[in-house]
Amino acid sequence: MLLENKVCVITGAASPRGIGRNTAELFHKHGAYVAILDLNQAQSEEAARAVGERAFGVACDVTDKASCEKAVAAVLEKFGRIDVLLNNAGITQPLKTLEITPENYEQVTDVSLRGMLYMSQAVLPQMVSQNSGSIVNTSSVSAQRGGGIFGGPHYSAAKAGMLGLGKAMAREFGGHNIRINSVTPGLILTDITGGKLTPEMKEKILTTIPLNRLGAAEDVSKAFLFLASDLSSYITGATIDVNGGMHI
Ligand code: NAD
């Protein structure tokens, strides 16, 4: 039990096969109270019911500051504290540089960057008052390699921005015993990726992955568990690659 009685907020955790949902299940198994924040109230509640009795579902659009504040207030009313924030909500668009419209750019960067900033701003006063907390941010190997199969350059930019924002916040809040770290997943089989992979694409990708398999959601959620829990008590401002060796 690595998160016994810890209150963990996870954004983008309603999607049944997603990394966020898998992490909600793992954190719950480790004794956590889990708040599932996703765009749709009914889907967030349904996900919470599926995760277990200590889970709570709340609607939240992470691109909207007021929505983040409202969702965090609901979590505090329900559970009374917040120990962990996992910024996991993310969207991608398989576009090339010349195809990206201003709307595309805003859609993708808003969910990753505004979402991370607004959610962090919403939970940090509570974490400061507790003098403890862990924030974990979901970046991507696309930030490090400059693109992937499904993410456009604007996705790479947004995910790289999350690394910079996370390091700056880690410096600022270290004195409050709040740790802020990032994970850069490689190609993980979820709804974002799974349905779109042809056998030929899969074969080509495998030649770039030393561990010779695609990632599963639990490969990432185990890294999230490490960073959320006291196992990583002296780690802040760090980035953990979870990519099978794709970026050695
Ligand atoms: P997913 O599509 O299964 O889950 C993403 C979730 O985010 C969905 O439940 C969606 O409803 C939610 N969401 C989207 N916009 C939102 C918003 N504005 N407010 C709140 N919630 C919102 O995707 P996934 O593959 O589980 O991805 C999870 C995270 O991991 C994302 O940040 C993604 O960019 C990142 N990632 C995924 C991969 C991969 O290969 N799957 C690789 C690297 C990084």
Please name which of 159, 67, 61 lies closest in space to residue 108, comparing C-alpha atoms: 159
Closest residue CA from atom 3 of ligand 1: 18
118 catalytic, yes or no?
Answer: no
Stated pTM of the model: 0.98
Q: How far is the CA of 88 from the centre of ligand 1 (A)?
A: 6
Q: Which residue has the tokens 């659009």?
A: 61
Model pLDDT, residue 89: 98
Rg (CA), the chain: 17
Identified catalytic residue from 33, 105, 118, 155: 155
Torsion on CA atoms 73, 78, 84, 89, rounded to nearest 10: -60
Mutate to test the pocket of ligand 1, among 117, 192, 193 (most ligand atoms within 8 A of CB): 192
* Buried-exposed string 60-79: b where 16+ CB fall within 10 A, e elsewhere: bbbbebebbbebbebbbeeb
Q: Which residue has the tokens 């693109």?
A: 147
All residue ranges of the chain with pLDDT < 50 are: none
Model pLDDT, residue 147: 78
Q: Which residues form the pocket of ligand 1, taking CB atoms under 6 Å from any ligand atom?
A: 11-12, 14-15, 18-20, 38-39, 60-63, 88-92, 111, 138, 140, 185, 187-188, 190-193
- 59 dihedral zone (left: phi>0; alpha: psi -120 to 50; beta): beta
- Please state the atom number of ligand 1 nearest to the C-alpha of residue 40: 11
27 near 228, Cβ under 8 Å?
yes
Q: ipTM for the complex?
A: 0.99
Task: Write out the H or E segment, with its range, that includes residue 55.
Answer: strand 55-59
Model pLDDT, residue 194: 67
Q: Which domains does the chain have, with CATH numbers?
A: 7-188+216-241 (3.40.50.720)
